[in-house]
Amino acid sequence: MSLTNQKHLFDLPEDVTYLNIASLSPSFKSIEEAGLRAVKEKSRPYLIPSSDFFNPVTELKKLFAQLINVNDYNRIANIPSVSYGLATIAHNISLKENSEIVLIEEQFPSNYYVWEKLAKKYNAKLKIVQQEINGKLWNEAILNAINVNTGLIALGNIHWANGTIFDLKAIRKKTRQHDALLIIDGSQSIGALPFSVKEIQPDAMVCAGYKWLFGPYGCGYAYFGSYFDNGNPIEENWANRLGSENLTNLTNYESNYKALANRYSVGEHGSFIYIQMQIAAITQLLKWKASDIQDYCHKITVSSVNQLKKAGCEIEEDTYRAKHLFGIKLPESVNKKALKEKLTREKIFVSFRGDYIRISCHLYNTEAHFEKLTKCILSEIEI
CA pseudo-torsion sign 195, 198, 200, 206: positive
Q: What is the mean pLDDT of residues 266-278?
A: 93
pLDDT at 354 (0 to 100):
78
DSSP 239: G
CB 210 within 8 A of CB 218: yes
Q: For position 383, what pLDDT does the model report?
A: 55
User: Are the beta carbons of 202 and 172 closer than 8 angstroms?
Assistant: yes
Report the C-alpha gap between 298 and 367 in whole angstroms.
10
Decide: 313 and 328 in contact? Cβ < 8 Å: yes
Residue among 364, 368, 375, 359 nearest 296 (CA) = 364
Three-state DSSP class for 127?
strand
CATH 3.40.640.10 residue spans of the chain: 32-285
- Under a CB-based contact definition with an 8 Å cutoff, are residues 169 and 200 in contact? yes
Average model confidence (pLDDT) across the chain: 95
Q: What's the CATH class of domain 7-27+290-382?
A: alpha beta
Alpha carbon separation from 60 to 73, 78, 220 (Å, rounded): 9, 9, 11
Q: What angle do CA 177, 179, 182 make, to 5 degrees?
A: 100
Q: 3-class DSSP state for residue 315?
A: coil
Q: How confident is the model at residue 172 (pLDDT cuts 50, 70, 90)?
A: very high
Query: How far apart are the C-alpha atoms of 294 and 318, rounded to whole Å?
Result: 11
**Contact residues for 353 (Cβ-Cβ < 8 A; gap 6+):** 160, 161, 162, 327
Show the beta-strand stretches assigned E in 23-122: 76-79, 100-104
Q: Between the CA atoms of 15, 19, 23 and 24, what dihedral angle is there, to the nearest 10 degrees?
A: 50
Q: How far apart, in whole angstroms, are the C-alpha atoms of residue 77 and residue 341?
A: 42
The mean pLDDT value for 251-265 works out to: 95
- The long-range contacts involving 174-178, CB below 8 angstroms and separated by at least 24 positions, are 174/143, 174/146, 175/146, 175/150, 178/146, 178/147, 178/148, 178/150
Catalogue the E-assigned strands of the chain.
17-18, 76-79, 100-104, 125-129, 150-156, 181-185, 204-208, 220-224, 325-329, 348-349, 351-353, 356-360
Answer for the pair 363, 293: CB distance below 8 angstroms, yes or no: yes
User: How many angstroms separate the CA atoms of 76 and 223, rounded?
Assistant: 5
Side by side, the strands of the sheet bearing 351-353 are 325-329, 356-360, 351-353
Q: Give the architecture-level CATH label for domain 32-285.
A: 3-Layer(aba) Sandwich (3.40)
Stretch(es) of the chain classified as CATH 3.90.1150.10: 7-27+290-382
Residue 382 pLDDT > 80, yes or no? no
Whole-number Å distance between alpha carbons of 193 and 166: 12
Q: What is the DSSP letter of 78?
A: E
- Look at residue 207 and give its three-state secondary structure: strand
Q: Report residue 312's pLDDT band, with 50, 70 and 90 as the boundaries.
A: very high
Residue 356's pLDDT is: 86
Question: What are the residues whose beta carbons fall under 8 Å from the beta carbon of 339, sequence distance 6 or more?
Answer: 330, 376, 377, 380
Sequential DSSP letters for 327-364: EEEPPTTS-HHHHHHHHHHTTEE-EEETTEEEEE--TT
Q: How far apart are CA 203 and CA 181, in angstroms?
A: 6
pLDDT, one tens digit per residue, over 108-127 is: 999 999 999 999 999 999 99
Given a contact cutoff of 8 angstroms between Cβ atoms, the answer to whether 21 and 361 are in contact is yes
**Given pLDDT bands bounded at 50, 70 and 90, which one contains residue 56?**
very high
pLDDT digits (tens, 9 = 90+) for 338-372: 999 999 999 999 999 877 899 999 999 999 999 99
Instruction: With cut-offs at 50, 70 and 90, classify the pLDDT of residue 198.
Output: very high
Pairing of strands 220-224, 204-208: antiparallel
Kindly indicate the confidence band of residue 51, based on its pLDDT and cuts at 50, 70 and 90.
confident
Q: Give the pLDDT confidence score for residue 2 in this predicted structure.
A: 85
Give Cα separations from 67 to 46, 229, 350 (angstroms). 34, 21, 27
Q: Does the pLDDT at position 92 exceed 60?
A: yes
